[in-house]
Amino acid sequence: MPDVAIVGMSVLLPGAPDLQTYWRNLVTGVDAITDVPEHRWDPAYYDPAGSARADRLYCRRGGFVDEYADVDPTRFGIMPNSVAGAEPDQLIAMRVAASAIADAGGDDRMPARDRIGVILGRGGYLTPGVVRLDQRVRTAVQLVRTLGELVPGIGDAELERVRAAFTEQLGPEQPESAIGLVPNLAASRVANRLDLRGPAYTVDAACASSLIAVDHAVHELTSGRCDVVLAGGVHHCHDITFWSVFTQLRALSTSQRIRPFHRDADGILIGEGTGVVVLKRLADAERDGDRIYAVVRGTGVASDGRSASLFNPDPGGQVLAVRKAWAAAGLDPSEDGSVGLLEAHGTATPAGDAAELSTLATVFGGPKRRHAVIGSVKSMIGHTMPAAGIAGLVKAALAVHHGVLLPTLHCDDPNPALAATRFRPIDTAEAWTDTVRRAGVNAFGFGGINAHVVLEQAPAPKPAPATITVTEPAKVLRIAANTPDELLRRLKDGRNHEVGRLRLAIVEPTPKKTALAEKVIAKGVPWRGRSNVWFSPEPLLRGNAGIAFVFPGLEADFDPRVDDVADHFGLIRRTVGNGDLGRHGMSVLGVGRLLDGALRRMGIVPTALAGHSIGEWTAMSVSGMFSDRAVEDQLAAFDPTSVEVPGVEFATIGCGVDRVAAAIADRPDIVLSHDNSPNQTIVCGPPDEIAELVAEFRKGAVISQVLPFRSGFHTPMLKPFLEPFVELADRLDMGRPALPIWSATTASPYPTDPDGIRDLYIRHLIEPVRFRATVRAMHESGIRVFVQVGAGQLGSLIDDTLKGADHLTVAANSTHRGGVEQLRLVAAALWVEGASPDFSVVEPTRQPVTLQLGSPLVSVDTTISTGPSRLDTLTADFPIAAELEALLRETAESAAQVMAARQRPSVRSLTKRMTISTDVMPFLLDHCFAPQREGWPDLADRRPVVPGTTLIQLMMDAAEEAAPGLKAVRVHDVKLLRWLIGAPATDVTITAEPIGPDRVRVAVGDHSQATVELTPDWAPRPQSAWSVAASARSTPDMTAREFYERRVMFHGPALQGITALTSVGTHHVSGVITTPDVPGGLLDNVGQLLGYWIWVTQTEKRIAFPVQMGRIEFFGPHPAPGTPVDCLIKVVDVSERLYQVDAQLTVNGVVWAEITDWRDRRFDSHMDLDEAWRFPERNALSQRQPGGWVAVAERWPDLASRELYLSKYLSGRERACYDQLPPRNRRHWLLGRIAVKDAVRNLLWDNGSGPVFPAEVLVSDTADGRVTVAGNNGFPLPEVSVSLAHKDELGVAIARFGRAPVSIAIDAPSTDGRRRAVVSNPADLPARQYVVAWTAGPADQEDE
């Protein structure tokens, strides 16, 4: 048969939540057997001294996974509240299968979905979900039936109360999850949630199930029906019935120890677990470059046939199965050295072990020259039944892969029958030095079904290790103190202590590292990272000392480890490739940006930036010099193949620049391209001359190397190829960087004016990189910490340059460890130097829901009345008296209810006045339509608007005030009518008028109105949270943080509640809102989440605000600030005018609120205006025109939309002018103001100015009909002459420095000698052309 490769694996087994831990446990021999947890079965069943009875157990030890049994349901698109109703093993299977796929390289490495199958071994036992259903529908009824029979006086109502109290303990009924109890769903749910479209089914062959699943999988692959199959087994049943079966069979160990192949083995202990392997044809796996754990050479399956007993194993069937597998492998098992490791079934029952050893002696023959190791993982985790085969297979595959023979526990006195075999058990791990590592795995099931698998090492196996070690995830010990003695003392305690001047950090502390740390502290010298120990007697980051992010350029060995970083921080994964120069460059840039984002999230923020070679571009891109989006868009359009200069090569020379300069003095074709450090210099020139130079240096014992790039960067050779770079610079609108960026061309910070930046950008391409001088200058300027933000060896150049000077260099990425792990080291390194990184963000994050694996006995939280009743004495004679008593009780209950209802408080009218201002509501400052410069004195210019949802909250508060004792549970017919602006302060009247026993009509001035419904109690919560089909869900293209950073929504920090965007589709969006501490803030974030959906799906009229809501219903008190709330919005309709949606908010899977018919009004807007809308200080609504003037088209025909743009542009004084104009004049007046402001702002930007807000340029009319401009509120505006004109949908303006008048006109007679051009309306406006005439300015003269 064609060989099949194991390319991915995962498990959840006792003591092991994942594959890595399983491996560690296997190597170190961890005994994961414990007492049964109480909730799995009731301790009352355990009665070792009691009589033999089906419900009296003499054994209570086994293997359990409770502490690891959780799933993160949202990861699989499962609503958290449906977890309780599902069979836990299905969810575990899903989690393990997903991890196995991830282990195989993730979805990207999977073939087409219809070529992937999933086959899982699973028995039809009483699993917890089934038991809970049984308790609900049978036990509950049985209970009250029996109770009724025993206590005849109990009325039906009382019995029903008992039944209800009993079933209540089982959780809410979930009819929709009943399907979850069908056994095959263990496989089908995996297929469904992971979208696998090949065959998906379970097989049941008792303890042989998993290996038979593997056998099926192999056939699916070799027949070509599938390209990948997930195979494995699932068993999570510790039901009392299951234990009872093994108790009655006396198969459980009486000594309560599981000791496979021990002389005195006396039975099994029951385990549980799940394991999944990802199988693929070997040839495909080799073709795809997969990591291959082991190759499945053969599988064999056979039954005992007619033999002595159904329960006692028979060697005949076993022998047949093992032989079939070896025959399929084309190997002779009896040959010496055929097998190195035999993972036995090893149940540790006397009969089982005896039969298995007899089988092994028969098939493999007696003792051979070369011993083989026998073992069984059951000694560590118990017998995992249908999952036993996969636990053994994964163990054997790991052993084959790592070249380690694994120990078996508790076999100090081996079974004498082993002497007749070639096998021996071992109690500690040994290196597996066979030339070909081959293993066999047994799994034999009740009823006589037997399976065997032959595994062999991959064609290119890892060598067997010299020493056997396993790694643990890094943990960072952080200790601070004010004296060395104190530090030493705290180090002995081994606990984190974070306050003090001297700091020590140890990653993954071990006794050896602690001893090293002690020595280092005693010496009192800094220790920066060797052996993962950091110590600083005098932290570097004090006073003005700074941190620099330094971005690497191209290096020959580029192997970043960043995928885990992207996943961990929810950032976009970056493609990593170095196939060609351009792509390599893009990858370097992407990795730098990704790590920059991750570091900032850890609270590690630079004070300066620098880059080596093209790393300078990464520095620019993270500096805020251009927007993230611009970088993404422009780089996507950049042609990588355009950057190769023919006929030149680089060489690294391992010595300083002076020596190199002397050597190339007489070689005019070779130039210096990089002065990297005192011991590294790079030169560039024709290949033959470079080769000669390299040889010469090597001869002088100077390490020299030709580099694999031919870009010619940083040399004059690039000059003829500059065009694409210049074009790129033109496309990237360069603004002022937020931080100093050091140029390695000048060894000083970049200039801040756009022209200066551009010039230097070009010089950087054709002049040498002076990295050494730059690093020195940075150090002199006070930079003490250099973080290498990328992969590679750039840091070593910094160390070489700063040798002997106080500094820290640390790499944010390393080939030596995982990406997140390396970031943890960075945090440790910086913490020691006085920084305060947030270590918590580099800890593993998950939002798991714990699975209830048990089905414990139910305790009822009620009592039945058994006290004597005066009717009791009569019941014997008059049965009717019993019924009468029950009737009386029911009547009393109903009467109490009715009377309670009567006592309802009354609702009254209410009128109150309230002041709305930014003092009363400081959060309004985070809800401003018009951003303004920091410290801008006119608050009104910011337009702080009361959120519509705050108005709703005010209305609910008023309604509750009008109806003391009642809760506002529903809000109907919300209308949000007019903006309520909080500056200047204003008073509003709030009125509440009862319109029914439980309804109040409320209004806030003429701004909003609604009807609020009030009741004493919350309405019952809806049974289920909404969900969205997996196929409709896609992953949001940005993180919540980016959502705000890019100002997709204008909200400031107080209202920024969205902390995760989880899914988006054509008709839905979902996210997590962390409840803000702002009235109405939670619902405001629903609107923001809708804003994200609009941003993603719509291309026009993207600006929208809520105007109306049909109904908002609350099912509980408002979540406290800080509570994470899941929000799912379903989009019902999108029309020209409105977005109409429904929304549901849940807390921990429990529905808190539902909103029906939320309507957002769409405002006129256009993608072209998007940047100016979000960042008006850096972008203009007008377009620049050749010749140095601007034109703005009116894209806001309706008044409400115009109002939005107006508020972004006009200062208070200008707004007052606008308000006084006759309405028909307002439109053009505004167009003119926008154009002038943009003309002036463009002029400033062109001359190096930073951000300028529109309101900073004050436009005034003079008496003679001209317009003038002045700086507003102290904005330093030089003398500028302006002119404007407008017609129909067009406004134009021109601005020039100085006093000389300028003019611009539309459709003026062509007699005045001005320059002219024709402009047209954009396509979305009425088709119109205009002739614009303007006075020529300096720009025109340049053109001419």
Query: Given the rule CB under 8 A, which residues bind another protein?
Result: 466, 516, 519-520, 523, 525, 527, 530-531, 533, 556-557, 652, 654-655, 677, 679-680, 694, 697-705, 793, 796-797, 799-800, 816
| Cβ(743)–Cβ(616) below 8 Å | yes
Asked if omega into 944 is within 30° of 0 (cis), the reply is no
| Cβ(694)–Cβ(706) below 8 Å | yes
DSSP per-residue codes, 937-970: S-GGGG-BB--HHHHHHHHHHHHHHHSTT-EEEE
CA distance 12 to 22: 8
CA distance 832 to 540: 9
Closer residue to another protein (CB): 210 or 613? 613
DSSP 195: T
CA distance 620 to 741: 7
Strand partners, 1111: 972, 1156
Closest distance of CB 517 from another protein, Å: 10
Closer residue to another protein (CB): 558 or 1139? 558
Query: Measuring CA to CA, how many Å separate 283 from each of 5, 104, 119, 459, 1344?
Result: 8, 16, 22, 10, 68
Burial class (CB in 10 A: 0-12, 13-18, 19+), 560: buried
Closer residue to another protein (CB): 350 or 678? 678
The residue among 289, 262, 261, 292 whose CA lies nearest residue 277 is: 292
Closer residue to another protein (CB): 769 or 1295? 769
CA distance 240 to 40: 8
Tokens of 611: 């880059």
Closest distance of CB 829 from another protein, Å: 14
The alpha carbon of 22 is separated from its chain's Cα centroid by a whole number of angstroms, namely 25
Closest distance of CB 550 from another protein, Å: 15
DSSP per-residue codes, 889-948: HHHHHHHHHHHHHHTPPP---EEEEEEESTTT-GGGGGSBSS---TT-S-GGGG-BB--H
β pairing state of 228-235 and 849-850: unpaired
Closest distance of CB 318 from another protein, Å: 44
Closer residue to another protein (CB): 559 or 919? 559
Closest distance of CB 514 from another protein, Å: 12
CA distance 945 to 95: 46
The residue among 612, 700, 704 whose CA lies nearest residue 649 is: 704
Burial class (CB in 10 A: 0-12, 13-18, 19+), 783: buried
Closer residue to another protein (CB): 465 or 922? 465
Closest distance of CB 476 from another protein, Å: 18
The residue among 11, 161, 242 whose CA lies nearest residue 854 is: 242
Closest distance of CB 1130 from another protein, Å: 53
The residue among 10, 26, 11, 13 whose CA lies nearest residue 100 is: 10
Closest distance of CB 604 from another protein, Å: 22
Closer residue to another protein (CB): 172 or 465? 465
CA distance 536 to 973: 64
Closer residue to another protein (CB): 555 or 1154? 555
CA distance 1179 to 1170: 9
Closest distance of CB 814 from another protein, Å: 8
Closest distance of CB 803 from another protein, Å: 8
E runs forming strands in 151-253 = 200-203, 228-235
Closer residue to another protein (CB): 801 or 1272? 801
Tokens of 1289: 């949908």
Closer residue to another protein (CB): 664 or 1127? 664
Closest distance of CB 619 from another protein, Å: 22
Closest distance of CB 824 from another protein, Å: 16
E runs forming strands in 1164-1224 = 1183-1185, 1189-1193
DSSP per-residue codes, 693-718: HHHHHHHTT--EEE-S----TTSGGG
CA distance 1008 to 1031: 39
Residues 6+ positions from 827 with CB-CB distance below 8 Å: 476, 602, 604, 837, 838, 839, 842
Tokens of 484: 């060395």
| Cβ(239)–Cβ(189) below 8 Å | no
Tokens of 1273: 């509120």
Strand partners, 107: none
Closer residue to another protein (CB): 342 or 533? 533
Closer residue to another protein (CB): 455 or 794? 794
Closest distance of CB 226 from another protein, Å: 35
Query: Measuring CA to CA, how many Å separate 191 from each of 116, 156, 188, 205?
Result: 9, 46, 5, 21
Closer residue to another protein (CB): 334 or 531? 531
The alpha carbon of 799 is separated from its chain's Cα centroid by a whole number of angstroms, namely 35
Closest distance of CB 287 from another protein, Å: 22
Closest distance of CB 526 from another protein, Å: 9
Closer residue to another protein (CB): 499 or 701? 701
β pairing state of 200-203 and 116-121: parallel
Closest distance of CB 525 from another protein, Å: 5
Closest distance of CB 527 from another protein, Å: 7
Closest distance of CB 646 from another protein, Å: 24
Closer residue to another protein (CB): 651 or 760? 651
Closer residue to another protein (CB): 135 or 774? 774
Mapped onto helix, strand or coil, the DSSP state of residue 597 is helix
CA distance 303 to 111: 35
Closer residue to another protein (CB): 655 or 1332? 655
Closer residue to another protein (CB): 703 or 900? 703
